[in-house]
Chains A and B, each alone.
Chain A
């Protein structure tokens, strides 16, 4: 049903087998590499659409692979990390990765992330003309400048509006704190994560039934936030 080719860069063989099996069962074609160098040369010679990249490779740092790939390609990169160092995840995302998976992850999670990445990639190529976004019963119309929840209009401040529209445009994708600050507060952004938290708390109290169990915007502790896409 799909015909994307996915390059799985992972040095642990059981995990690689598990990933490849899951992807094949899901209808993707897969290629494998156990090293970063091998992955880079395969990316040049083969036609590959998406890369799943383990950050702890035996030869080169995963971060280097991302940097090199981003020099010529916008292909979706999903990072796999066994480390619980959030800073590395955030760094990988800021370097150019599209998403991340923390080990251990389930097949369901893997497939979900992959779907988001692919959808995003194609949407980006259509040069985003979309002005109406819908997720669950939350709806945002950029032309009318309106946000509705269960068909009732809700009032948001200009900052909250900017924040929400950023998430709407990046539905399903994890956005780092760093990136959000830059996009919402502008180029001369600070590092005031507290301001972002306060803004987020305000927005959540307007769109979420229970801010402790968010339905729409989920916190990725230490990394950033992600808007659900279903």
Chain B
């Protein structure tokens, strides 16, 4: 179709060229009739050449016209008339100069014309880009960016362009938007998205030639954000300038998508911070609201106990109140530790702490709560500084020691030992007892949340199975390991946990 149109254009321009030259010849005859000098006729021919160059495309017609004009002058107006020969040799000079002038003027005119055309195209290009970027700045979602891109590109390329977005996992979405006609867009299903994704991952060229569409990738700063799809027949006939414009348009779309991404990310971050603040406020409220009444209960029952004779039956009731409050309090502490860890999203507040000081603190705590229990402690002579959240590690030690106390009777030994392991650059904590040990069938589940042994203790409160799972969560958040089992050197249980000596920040970010 294009080809035929071009041919038609050629014929039209050729006819125009002949027409202008004929008029010039006619005017020449008129001049000759009223006895104007020859030079005027030459000028008329030059004008004809100029007009031809102005109103035809390219250089060919201008050049042809300049030669034909010279021949016409020669044929019609020099003696002998109606031949191409001349009597007066000075005309030769006229011919040559005339040809040159015609030549140059036609070339210059054609060039000016070409520049004007290019400028016009450039302007259209700039305007298209400007419209696109202008509209993209207002876009509030990926969908609206895609719609704008499709509309603008369709308009400029004069085709039914489409846009396929990629989701956050880098996979093509299930459907894409296509412009059907001016102001009307439809959603179509994506064929074989995996296949498409796969083909793009190995893309070396600018675009991908597919069945129905030619696909141009939209790249963001990091990854592929989507595709601009131009129908196959239009894609095949794309010109260099159009290609260039299409590229700039796609680039702009990519930038707009990137900008939207980062602003959405900012909003998400801000929401996360707000959530975090809510959470810490909630934690503070819980700690205050639960601990304050518990302290009141503990204090009051203690005072009442002191006022009562130990043999009085009311004494043991008050003691019961005190013990229950104490137990609830430790539960609150544990839940607080757990919520503080929560998926490890809050980075641990790690500082270099002296192991002996943490152990000293824990033993002091145990002494206060279980004054009748003797705990053996062995630490290395060397000062060990380990990066940790001291509060949380104390909680681990308290939980493990509480467990040991719960499972031992009276004088059965409980001990805590710390050893530096140079092999894997860790500090190992051993908490062992000479109690009843762990039942074989319970062993695989001890760290599971809410797991409690089916065997009930007559004298111990049934826990809710939080203690050990909290220990595990805390140790893991420190990049360490924890194991529990029975002792091989006789009866009793032993728990071991290791903390890395060097603070690996990278690892920190992942937990």
Contacts and interface: CB of A to CB of B under 8 A. Distances in A.
A201 B295 contact: no
Given A201-B383, A219-B361, A15 B295 contact: yes
B391 A212 contact: no
B40 interface: no
A86 B131 CA distance: 59
Contacts of B361: 219-221
Given A14-B293, A84-B391, A204 B356 contact: yes
Contact of B302 (A106, A198, A220): A106
Contacts of B299: 14-15, 18-19, 22, 104-107
Given A83-B284, A197-B385, A15 B292 contact: yes
Interface in A83-124: 83-84, 86, 103-107, 109
Given A19-B299, A201-B354, A219-B361, A210 B381 contact: no
Contacts of A222: 390-391
Given A18-B303, A197-B357, A222-B390, A211 B379 contact: yes
Contacts of B291: 82, 103-104
A194 interface: yes
Interface string B271-288: 000000000000010011
Q: Which residue, B291, B298, B353, B360, has most C-beta atoms of chain A within 10 A? A: B360
**DSSP class of B's interface residues: helix, strand, loop or mixed?**
helix
A21 B303 contact: yes
A182 interface: no
Contacts of B288: 56, 82-83
B306 interface: yes
B255 interface: no
Contacts of A219: 354, 357, 360-361
Contacts of B293: 12, 14
A212 B383 contact: no
B378 A212 contact: yes
A104 B359 contact: no
A14 B300 contact: yes
B377 A105 contact: no
A220 B391 CA distance: 11
A149 to B, nearest CB: 18
A213 interface: yes
A157 to B, nearest CB: 15
A171 to B, nearest CB: 18
B481 interface: no
A205 interface: yes
A218 interface: yes
A200 B333 CA distance: 29
Contacts of A19: 299
Contacts of B378: 212
Contacts of A105: 295, 299
A104 B329 CA distance: 9
A17 interface: yes
Interface string B437-476: 0000000000000000000000000000000000000000
A212 B292 contact: no
Range of interface residues on chain B?
Answer: 35 or more
Q: Which residue, A14, A104, A106, A107, has most C-beta atoms of chain B within 10 A? A: A104
Contacts of B325: 104
A221 B358 contact: yes
B296 A15 contact: yes
A18 B296 CA distance: 7
A14 B379 contact: no
B297 interface: yes
A214 interface: yes
B308 interface: no
Interface string B309-341: 000000000000000011001000100100000
A47 B342 CA distance: 49
B148 interface: no
A107 B302 contact: yes
A205 B233 CA distance: 87
A19 B302 CA distance: 11
A176 to B, nearest CB: 14
Interface string B205-221: 00000000000000000
A108 B356 CA distance: 26
A203 B138 CA distance: 68
A197 B383 contact: yes
B303 to A, nearest CB: 5
A211 B383 CA distance: 10
A14 B360 contact: no
Nearest to A202: B383
A18 B306 CA distance: 12
Nearest to B390: A221
B356 A211 contact: yes
B300 A18 contact: yes
Nearest to A211: B356
B425 interface: no
B368 to A, nearest CB: 8
B295 A82 contact: yes
Contacts of B296: 12, 14-15, 18
B363 interface: yes
A205 B381 contact: yes
B79 interface: no
B394 interface: yes
Contacts of A214: 360
Given A12-B292, A18-B299, A19-B299, A210 B377 contact: yes
B431 interface: no
Nearest to B416: A212
B356 A201 contact: yes
B454 to A, nearest CB: 32
A12 B295 CA distance: 10
A22 B303 contact: yes
Given A103-B291, A197-B354, A198-B383, A212 B359 contact: yes
Given A18-B303, A22-B303, A212 B390 contact: no
Interface of B: 284, 287-288, 291-300, 302-303, 306, 325-326, 329, 333, 336, 352-354, 356-361, 363-364, 368, 377-379, 381, 383, 385, 390-391, 394, 416, 418
17 contacts: A14-B300, A15-B292, A17-B300, A21-B303, A84-B333, A104-B325, A107-B302, A107-B306, A109-B368, A197-B354, A198-B383, A201-B354, A204-B356, A211-B356, A211-B379, A213-B377, A214-B360
Given A18-B300, A107-B306, 14 more contacts: A12-B293, A15-B295, A17-B300, A18-B303, A104-B298, A106-B299, A200-B357, A201-B356, A202-B383, A212-B359, A212-B418, A218-B360, A219-B354, A219-B357
The 9 closest A-B pairs by CB, nearest first: A14-B296, A18-B299, A104-B295, A103-B295, A201-B383, A219-B357, A212-B377, A212-B379, A104-B298
